[in-house]
Amino acid sequence: MALILNRENVRELLDMRDAIDAVERALVEFSAGQAHMPVRVTTRIEKHSGIALGMPAFLAETNALATKIVTVYKDNPKRGLPTIMAVVVVNDPETGKVVAIVDGGYLTAVRTAAASAVGTKYLANPGARVLGILGAGVQGESHLWAISEVAPIERVVLYNRSRDKAEAFKAAMEARHGKRIEIASSEEAVCRASDIVVLATTAANPITRHEWFRPGTHINAVGSHSPGARELDSDTVADARIVVDSREANKVECGDLLIPLREGRITEEHFTDEIGEVARGLKPGRRTNDEITIYKAVGIAVEDVATANLVYRRALERGIGTQVDL
């Protein structure tokens, strides 16, 4: 028998604070060599402007095994569908038996933001109170929730190219989180106003400039996860203290870093530190109040495994989900 957990089940079971803790432990395990995880397998469906990804991982200390299968179709919103859709298959690590199939859409939104919260916890200035968000999609929503868990956010500044989407985001998120949200006129206005900036767009070319960021700004860059696309400009990347989720994954997938690398603006030494190493105290986080810091995440499978394992264990405890005979 396997437990089926749909989106509403996952939403009921998954709390952001606990997700942040689970993802941080997974990132520490990963950087300590206690996880087995290949760089994800990418299948491009160019005919339909999509990609399919396979993301397996085993967390040895947590003793959790799972694989996420995720698709990213940029044109889906025009069809009334989410850009990202996913399922996570959870296995018994001792036998390999499938014990759960978990909706991965909401889980992905939460775990991605939870990882950024870990980056923010160790890299943002302690007094950071203004959160800037570029992108009013699902990741913008989940990042507002997650960053508010680790920083004393008092003000939120948002920009989205669709004013209607920005207005809908403002109404929904003010009601949900009780924080004042201002809609800015441009990406520049958001960057200049903010202590912490979240880049959560599908942009293929830079949407920022180095001179827009205030000294001491922390940036969570999560929108780009392919070699030819980036949200960050090369000047910002070259000047910043960069910490990544995975060195190897970023060397393969991250246009935000690979493009400046090809331009000769940075070397691989510029992004060797992983957030799991920072969390363990092996590498420094923020070094000065004025430096710009970037947490660059392409999203790695250990985050999904840790989050799906948390959801599965809670479902068993609470008797939530549907058992099926596969």
Instruction: Verify that 157 and 228 share a domain, yes or no.
Output: yes
Overall domain count for the chain: 2
pLDDT at position 74? 85
Does the residue 114 lie in any domain? no
Domain span at residue 289? Answer: 125-299
Instruction: Verify that 290 and 314 share a domain, yes or no.
Output: no
Torsion sign, CA atoms 225, 230, 233, 234:
positive
Instruction: Verify that 221 and 83 share a domain, yes or no.
Output: no
Backbone angles phi, psi at 104, to 5 degrees: -105, -5
Give the three-state DSSP class for 58: strand
Does the residue 113 lie in any domain? no
Instruction: Verify that 94 and 163 share a domain, yes or no.
Output: no
Instruction: Report whether 214 contacts 291 (CB < 8 A).
Output: no
Does the residue 118 lie in any domain? no
Instruction: Verify that 18 and 148 share a domain, yes or no.
Output: no
Instruction: Verify that 45 and 87 share a domain, yes or no.
Output: yes
Which pLDDT tens digit goes with each residue over 9-67? 999 999 999 999 999 999 999 999 999 999 889 999 999 999 999 999 999 999 999 99
What whole-number distance in Å separates Cα of residue 186 and Cα of residue 164? 15
Instruction: Verify that 141 and 264 share a domain, yes or no.
Output: yes
Does the residue 141 lie in any domain? yes
Task: Write out the catalytic residue numbers.
Answer: 68
* Surface-to-core class of residue 50, CB atoms within 10 Å of its CB (0-12 exposed, 13-18 middle, 19+ buried): middle
Instruction: Verify that 98 and 141 share a domain, yes or no.
Output: no
CATH code for the domain in which residue 171 is found: 3.40.50.720
Does the residue 119 lie in any domain? no
Instruction: Verify that 293 and 166 share a domain, yes or no.
Output: yes
pLDDT-derived band at 225, boundaries 50, 70, 90: confident
pLDDT-derived band at 158, boundaries 50, 70, 90: very high
Which pLDDT tens digit goes with each residue over 75-109? 998 899 988 899 999 999 999 999 999 999 999 99
pLDDT at position 83? 85
pLDDT-derived band at 224, boundaries 50, 70, 90: confident
CATH code for the domain in which residue 58 is found: 3.30.1780.10
pLDDT exceeds cutoff 90 at 317: yes
Instruction: Verify that 317 and 274 share a domain, yes or no.
Output: no
pLDDT-derived band at 326, boundaries 50, 70, 90: confident
